[in-house]
A and B are shown apart, each in its own frame.
Chain A
């Protein structure tokens, strides 16, 4: 499809893709053309005009970032005239740029500085126009959260506008007219910034105009050591650099050559202060008595020795490093010789990969999403679950324009603004869509010859609108969101997804989203392979008294169970041993607590949703050993030497085992728990991937509490306004949440976000379920 053309740049002939712009072609071949506003992340803007080149036959210089190559084109990238032109532009910028490098956070890595140096500007004919020492008149947005904007430093390259629009797909920033003919970057509506607070605009700003409030005046760019690592907040595995000074992370940056193309979300970019949270667990403690490591080892081994081996159970939070995760598994399988162990990935992706046949369960790179012809996003708001997948979709649909998007969900979401084909089902009716889709595929002749094909049945759900696209597409990315898999009928959904994957075998790439950063690592280490014990049966086992000692590795009981259930577990288990990084409700009830370093304080690997084995590197010192070291010592105390075990992975990418190809029969009979007027859904906020992610400044500032999303009509009917407190009741329990009217919410549907400290929505849905019928009342008075 790609055509090659021949062009001449500076007298040398090159053969390049016809789709490329001159700038891209030149850069590919190592020819340097200066450019300020251009970046591969968001394409050409054409604002800075520095990249102008001369093309034979054209009177005026052309912008190389925007002009596509043509066969036989002759380009000159450097000439006195061009140099003069570029200098004029720099003079223009310099004229209005305040003399503030000394106090500007961007100094030292500022592209305006760089371009001044590159062109060696030694005079400015326009400098008489303005006095650089005068007080600048541009707006400084002190009122914005997290992001600081100083219009005086802006050179109006519009990179922030482009990144907000074309990468993040939020589009809140624009170059707007201010008094007179002055233009400034501001929000489109002029209100204070209220966005995803991903800070992409900060990362692209060539000057110090957009900067992080959290970083302001903390350090100079060159003082910090950049420690490359992998983000530990979700399973995207974004590569980033922790900027460390004096054993403290001061900011997070990322480079354009990373797989995530320097894109980071709010959590990755601004939530680094979690690492110095005052709620870090620092000491070993047993029944709230602080011990040293040796004493703790002795006490713990005593506890474990006194417990019959088959009564020891373990749950991994799927958030620890691969090494910890594997050591934990080995500890159970070898030292304790049982398999009473499961991880939190079994609550969602574990279900999917249990059924997804080997032939389609390959883990693919996210960049393939952007290249897919058709992207089907099913079962959740991917922008909230994994922003990186959202950006890959946006890149494919909006920037490269190679992909069509289908969004199958119960609500309009951000990706619907990409011109997607919306498929709306009622919450809890996911199977309708999946089975109809599978049936439609079968009718089109896909999957001929597969076992059990006949068992596929359809439903009333209409998928005809997308069948045309599916047929056309040669390359489909199918994204399964965590929310769908966490329904109580998640296993059936997983089976249905497997059926679709198998039917579209050759052209489908299945992606699953997970908020647990090492969920795929836990799958790889064969968590959830026990026939008897699984995390869903935790409560049952506890009630039956089968569990005497429960070891939790980075797993917070209150983050996947309701408070009542967690209490039941507490009461029926004799010893709860918690390995965790942060204090949580669980740490308050655990008998023994072993601190685990945060991912910024240890070296190891995470396995992300692409199956990549990503390295994390120790950036800040802490005197707590990794969990695997502690487990090894504990194992030695128990008489089993694990120290020869190899924890490190040699592979760069993992593969998972799956069953043989098989079409599953789906049990579509599912009923939503409870009875109430409303359907209540516990879903996710993009600002939390766990309870502790709220301990950081960035996330806390962006969203401090869980809110109840409600449609306008419903709100009016009940008489709720933004900010009012509402009580939601189901299953005999109730939670109180502040209300936020969301115009995109369908009627009689409520949604609240998990993992906020103000409430635990599992209280009304129950653990391992996120959907319930509930009643809504306006609370009298404020919050209790």
Chain B
């Protein structure tokens, strides 16, 4: 936001939407120049939630930063944990040594996170357009997922569950049964949402043809995730730049070609079903075994060792106080998050803390394309476009 708006004639008015506004999903400030209710110009202004995470990262050890990633996209904390852990593992060169079971647990958590995030997206998107009931239906299912998360790691919002080198602890007894139940139940719930919205005339009126961004524009603006797939681009990092155990799993990438709010809506609805499929397969395929790497200089030793063996205790002190010494070098890793590609660029100079960390946040990049999508629309369409882009300010402003 560096433009100054000038009202050119009497008909025009400038409105500051946000940073305190009920449906700017956090603290987006959106400056719009209106002619009546028609948008003449618009400009998003971000940064109200800037907490300096990238600078924080330069002052804390790799493990210490994990809880911070929870606070990026706080609706999909597990996915952020996952992406960060993968990035650091790539830097450390231990990506291939993660125990299989841990990988499966991570994928289960990530896909549950994707569903949970999409549910919140659907809930708020519908609420913004005025459909209140969908909101509560979605939160009902999300609650189920949060319960499962709580089982696994004790938390309901910021999980800090995935660790560099594995996951914090094994799945608790009964988790997989609960997951099975969820997986069986969930498609019928998605059908319910479809009933409420997909054929609803008002819904169609509010979403079809709104927020158009062409395939080429989507690529040019660097939009990622469901938003690109709604513009007819068949691109998903899970399949196209595979990581973790995704190559072993069978799933489809939903792609729609109308480039509008409605198609982005359909992509996400389908993605939930695909995530459900992935979860089904994970339940089948998850092996037994350890959930954390052993004897690596980059992970903490088991607590029993630390209490009994002096070398383990000594190493632990170094790992905690000075941080794990990553080899010098730089790395970038992008993961397919519910919102799009969440990437971590880490530059290490061999010390216990990164020299520089850059977070590529999908929310920020998707948001930047908003003025393109809003050209010629009405003030009420801002809301549906915001909903369809599905950004979270924790991530956008970092």
Where the two chains meet, the residues of A that have a C-beta atom closer than 8 Å to any C-beta of B are: 90, 94, 97-99, 101-102, 107-110, 112-114, 116-118, 120-122, 124, 127, 132-133, 221-222
A116 touches B314 (CB 8 A): yes
Interface positions, chain B 325-341, Cβ under 8 Å from A, are 325
Contact partner, A117, options B308, B310, B314, Cβ 8 Å: B314
Interface positions, chain B 218-260, Cβ under 8 Å from A, are none
Q: Report the minimum CB–CB distance from A94 to chain B (whole Å).
A: 5
Interface positions, chain B 297-320, Cβ under 8 Å from A, are 297, 301, 308-315, 317-319
B321 touches A99 (CB 8 A): no
Given the interface pairs A127-B309, A132-B309, the reply to whether A120 lies near B314 with Cβ below 8 Å is: no
B319 touches A117 (CB 8 A): yes
A110 touches B317 (CB 8 A): yes
A117 touches B313 (CB 8 A): no
Other A-B contacts than A101-B317, A117-B319, A124-B311, 15 sampled, CB-CB below 8 A, are: A94-B311, A99-B308, A99-B313, A113-B314, A117-B315, A117-B318, A120-B296, A120-B297, A120-B315, A121-B311, A121-B315, A122-B311, A122-B312, A124-B309, A132-B310
Q: Quick check: is B295 within 8 A (CB to CB) of the other chain?
A: yes
Residues of A within 8 A of B319 (CB): 117
Q: Report the minimum CB–CB distance from B194 to chain A (whole Å).
A: 54
A116 touches B297 (CB 8 A): no
Q: Quick check: is B322 within 8 A (CB to CB) of the other chain?
A: yes
A108 touches B317 (CB 8 A): yes
Contact partner, B314, options A109, A112, A127, A221, Cβ 8 Å: A112
Contact partner, B310, options A101, A122, A221, Cβ 8 Å: A101
B321 touches A101 (CB 8 A): no
What 7 pairs between A and B have smallest CB-CB spacing? A108-B321, A117-B318, A113-B314, A120-B297, A121-B311, A116-B314, A122-B295
Contact partner, A221, options B312, B321, B325, Cβ 8 Å: B321
A446 to B295, CA, bound (A): 71
Q: Please, which residue of chain A has its CB at the minimum distance from the CB of B297?
A: A120
Q: Report the minimum CB–CB distance from B25 to chain A (whole Å).
A: 39
Q: Please, which residue of chain A has its CB at the minimum distance from the CB of B311?
A: A121
A110 touches B314 (CB 8 A): yes
A120 to B301, CA, bound (A): 11
A109 to B313, CA, bound (A): 14
A43 to B248, CA, bound (A): 58
26 contacts between A and B (CB under 8 A): A90-B311, A94-B310, A94-B311, A99-B308, A99-B313, A101-B314, A107-B321, A108-B317, A108-B321, A109-B321, A113-B314, A113-B317, A114-B318, A116-B311, A116-B315, A117-B315, A117-B318, A117-B319, A117-B325, A120-B297, A121-B311, A121-B315, A122-B295, A122-B312, A127-B309, A132-B309
B309 touches A116 (CB 8 A): no
Where the two chains meet, the residues of B that have a C-beta atom closer than 8 Å to any C-beta of A are: 295-297, 301, 308-315, 317-319, 321-322, 325
Residues of A within 8 A of B295 (CB): 120, 122
A116 touches B318 (CB 8 A): yes
Q: Report the minimum CB–CB distance from B269 to chain A (whole Å).
A: 48
Q: Report the minimum CB–CB distance from B139 to chain A (whole Å).
A: 42
A98 to B314, CA, bound (A): 11
A90 to B314, CA, bound (A): 12
B322 touches A99 (CB 8 A): no
A120 to B317, CA, bound (A): 13
A113 touches B308 (CB 8 A): no
Q: Which of A116, A118, A132, A221 has the most CB of B within 10 A?
A: A116
Q: Please, which residue of chain B has its CB at the minimum distance from the CB of A116?
A: B314
Residues of A within 8 A of B310 (CB): 94, 97-99, 101, 132
Contact partner, B297, options A102, A109, A117, A132, Cβ 8 Å: A117
Contact partner, A113, options B296, B301, B309, B315, Cβ 8 Å: B315
Contact partner, A222, options B308, B313, B321, Cβ 8 Å: B321
Residues of B within 8 A of A107 (CB): 317, 321
A107 to B315, CA, bound (A): 10
Q: Please, which residue of chain B has its CB at the minimum distance from the CB of A108?
A: B321
A27 to B311, CA, bound (A): 27
A182 to B313, CA, bound (A): 26
Q: Please, which residue of chain A has its CB at the minimum distance from the CB of B298?
A: A120
Q: Report the minimum CB–CB distance from A700 to chain B (whole Å).
A: 33
A99 to B304, CA, bound (A): 13
Q: Please, which residue of chain B has its CB at the minimum distance from the CB of A222?
A: B321
A121 to B318, CA, bound (A): 13
B313 touches A101 (CB 8 A): yes
Residues of A within 8 A of B313 (CB): 99, 101-102
Q: Which of B308, B311, B313, B318 has the most CB of A within 10 A?
A: B311
Residues of B within 8 A of A116 (CB): 311, 314-315, 318
A108 touches B315 (CB 8 A): no
Residues of A within 8 A of B296 (CB): 120
Q: Please, which residue of chain A has its CB at the minimum distance from the CB of B350?
A: A32
Contact partner, B308, options A90, A97, A102, A132, Cβ 8 Å: A132
Q: Which of B308, B317, B321 has the most CB of A within 10 A?
A: B317
A413 to B346, CA, bound (A): 57
A122 to B314, CA, bound (A): 11
Residues of B within 8 A of A109 (CB): 321
A132 to B313, CA, bound (A): 11
Residues of A within 8 A of B297 (CB): 117, 120
A494 to B306, CA, bound (A): 65
Q: Please, which residue of chain B has its CB at the minimum distance from the CB of A223?
A: B321
Q: Report the minimum CB–CB distance from B293 to chain A (whole Å).
A: 12
Residues of A within 8 A of B318 (CB): 108, 113-114, 116-117
Q: Report the minimum CB–CB distance from A226 to chain B (whole Å).
A: 14
Q: Report the minimum CB–CB distance from B305 to chain A (whole Å).
A: 9
A133 to B319, CA, bound (A): 22
Q: Please, which residue of chain A has its CB at the minimum distance from the CB of B305?
A: A122
Residues of A within 8 A of B308 (CB): 99, 132-133
Q: Report the minimum CB–CB distance from B325 to chain A (whole Å).
A: 8
Residues of A within 8 A of B314 (CB): 94, 97, 101, 110, 112-113, 116-117
A122 to B295, CA, bound (A): 6
Residues of A within 8 A of B311 (CB): 90, 94, 116, 121-122, 124
A118 to B319, CA, bound (A): 10
A120 to B319, CA, bound (A): 11
A763 to B92, CA, bound (A): 70
Residues of B within 8 A of A110 (CB): 314, 317
Q: Please, which residue of chain A has its CB at the minimum distance from the CB of B318?
A: A117
A223 to B311, CA, bound (A): 23
Q: Report the minimum CB–CB distance from B60 to chain A (whole Å).
A: 12
A116 to B313, CA, bound (A): 10
Q: Please, which residue of chain B has its CB at the minimum distance from the CB of A132?
A: B310
A427 to B252, CA, bound (A): 98
Q: Please, which residue of chain A has its CB at the minimum distance from the CB of B321?
A: A108
Q: Report the minimum CB–CB distance from A50 to chain B (whole Å).
A: 15
B309 touches A108 (CB 8 A): no
A413 to B297, CA, bound (A): 52
Q: Please, which residue of chain A has its CB at the minimum distance from the CB of B295?
A: A122
Residues of B within 8 A of A122 (CB): 295, 301, 311-312
A98 to B325, CA, bound (A): 25
Residues of B within 8 A of A102 (CB): 313
Q: Please, which residue of chain B has its CB at the minimum distance from the CB of A115?
A: B314
Residues of B within 8 A of A90 (CB): 311
Q: Please, which residue of chain B has its CB at the minimum distance from the CB of A32?
A: B350
A133 to B312, CA, bound (A): 14
Residues of B within 8 A of A99 (CB): 308-310, 313
Residues of B within 8 A of A221 (CB): 321
Residues of B within 8 A of A132 (CB): 308-310
Q: Please, which residue of chain B has its CB at the minimum distance from the CB of A112?
A: B314
Residues of A within 8 A of B301 (CB): 122
A112 to B311, CA, bound (A): 9
Q: Report the minimum CB–CB distance from A266 to chain B (whole Å).
A: 29
Q: Report the minimum CB–CB distance from A124 to chain B (whole Å).
A: 6
A99 to B310, CA, bound (A): 5
Q: Report the minimum CB–CB distance from B326 to chain A (whole Å).
A: 13
Q: Report the minimum CB–CB distance from B352 to chain A (whole Å).
A: 10
Q: Report the minimum CB–CB distance from A675 to chain B (whole Å).
A: 66
Q: Report the minimum CB–CB distance from A687 to chain B (whole Å).
A: 34
Q: Report the minimum CB–CB distance from B322 to chain A (whole Å).
A: 7
